[in-house]
Amino acid sequence: MADRPNIIYVHSHDTGRYVQPYGHQVLTPNIQLLADQGVTFRRAFCAAPTCSGSRAALLTGQHCHNNGMTGLAHRGWTLNDYSQHLVHPLKAAGYNTILVGEQHISLDPNVIGYDEVIPLSDNYAKRVAPSALDALRRTTEPFFMSVGFFETHRDFAAPTSVRDSLYSLPPENLPDTRETRSDMAAFKESVRSLDQGIGALLNGLNDSGLAERTLVICTTDHGLAFPKAKATLLDGGIGVMLLMRGPRSFSGGRVIDSMVSHLDLYPTICGLAGIPPPDFVQGRSLMPLVGSALTTLHEELFSEVTYHAAYEPQRAVRTNRWKYIRRFDDRKLPVLANCDDSATKNLLVEMGWGESEVDREQLFDLYLDPLEERNLAGDAGSADVLVDMRFRLDQWMEETNDPVRLGPIPPPPGARINDPDQVSPDEPLTLIAD
């Protein structure tokens, strides 16, 4: 077991890439330290920009329509088979497995299969980090520890920095106003708390002498809880931070620009642990990239949304240059309940966002239009690209037996969902009969 690294999977809510190593004015010195000492994947993407779906895909190595998590766990969705979770092959290989904090793929964390589930009153960094440090002090090696922080999920705490409230720049695809600046300042307050929790964990690894034998994987589920991000298939929704530091070449402050997916973490971890990845895994190991044997791992990546608060079925394929998104229902207006409530959302709704029609097909040139604002699906000059991207998506849906190609996907019995016409996810829910 000595050559098998310990693994700590550190994950946050709704952070996207809005941390210091990705060039944003968001001070995160501990996450920056991971980047300086490890490997930063500049173009990492989740398989689903929803909380449960993203985590389920990462931890089963499968797309959501294959693992069952096409909605939110706290609203009634589950994995088809919890024995496909990553902890099971790791346990079989002799790893001690520990869950600390957020997990968001089951109402009952004990069904997942960890050797130890540490109970907490909440999953904020001030409680998660000390509990993780306590677990580090008493665990045996090798271990796999999931450390989940509630930050940076809404509701954010009020910003303590007057400067941030005045000057914080919102994401580039949102208007720069007093409301959006204040909203972004509150996000930055939350990400500071996240960074402090990660810093405490890194310090504990150093103090315990475990740092050199431990791979730290730091990521988030999906993009920010702002309009045009979380729960969308735009890059603002599917783009995630991914930093890894530890043995086996995860060092040196290197940056990798190749597109990678959360799905790639399962086979990567299996390889490091000396385990053959199960046949159901749909990602590829990152090790050829990390070891410089390859410069490109994927020619295309796929992502999906079915349910968030409400039904809004969409699928997307992304290449280095192009993004193609297709909607699978007849609705022409945004599903506002799928956007978390905020001052920024209120501003856009007041300006008529809810009446702006959404195209059934969208094609974006990610080099000439990185904010994904000019739909080229009807552009004659892009017709060949559209045909190619349609084919790629259709082929993937066929190969993975995606049920959305056959018609609407019903929610499971007992699920709770919003009506697509509702504005807020906090409005009364529809309970699906058993």
**Residue 193: which residues within 8 A CB-CB, separation 6 or more?**
124, 125, 126, 151, 157
Tell me, yes or no, if the two domains 6-290 and 301-431 fold the same way.
no
* Whole-Å CA distances, 427 to 25, 268, 366, 432: 34, 41, 36, 16
pLDDT at 1: 43
Domain 301-431 has CATH 3.30.1120.10: yes
Give CA–CA dist 391/388, Å, rounded. Answer: 5
Contact, 303 vs 240, CB < 8 A? no
181-236: pLDDT as tens digits: 999 999 999 999 999 999 999 999 999 999 999 999 999 999 999 999 999 999 99
Burial degree of 406 (CB within 10 A; 0-12, 13-18, 19+) = exposed
Report the alpha-carbon distance of residue 93 to residue 292 in Å, rounded. 27
Token pair of 400 as six digits: 């993975």
Looking at the whole model, is its pTM more than 0.75? yes
Residue 183 corresponds to which tokens in the numbers above?
Answer: 């909203």
Give the mean pLDDT per block of 10 residues along the chain (434 residues).
86 98 96 98 98 98 98 97 98 97 97 97 97 95 98 91 91 95 96 98 95 97 98 98 96 97 98 96 97 93 98 98 97 97 97 96 98 97 98 98 97 97 96 85
User: What pLDDT sits at residue 398?
Assistant: 98
What DSSP line would sit under 288-305, residue for residue?
Answer: HHHTTS-S-S-S-EEEEE
Q: Please tell me the distance from the alpha carbon of residue 229 to that of residue 223, in angstroms, as a whole number.
A: 5
- pLDDT at 270 (0 to 100): 97
Residue 294's alpha-carbon distances to 12, 61, 179, in angstroms, are 29, 21, 45
Bridge pairing between strands 242-245 and 214-220: antiparallel
In three-state secondary structure terms, 64 is helix
State the Cα–Cα distance between residues 377 and 222, nearest whole angstrom: 25
Summarised one tens digit per residue, pLDDT across range 67-126 is 999 999 999 999 999 999 999 999 999 999 999 999 999 999 999 999 999 999 999 999
Does residue 289 contact residue 242 with C-beta atoms inside 8 Å? no
Superfamily, domain 6-290: Alkaline Phosphatase, subunit A (3.40.720.10)
* In 223-290, alpha helices (H): 235-238, 265-272, 287-290
Cβ neighbour number for residue 242 with a 10 Å cutoff: 25
Q: Residue written as tokens 């300042």?
A: 185
Domain boundaries, the chain: 6-290, 301-431
Residue pair 215/50 in contact by the 8 Å Cβ criterion: no
Q: How far apart are CA 371 and CA 30, in angstroms?
A: 28
Residue 258 CB coordination number (10 Å): 17
CB atoms within 10 A of CB 275: 17
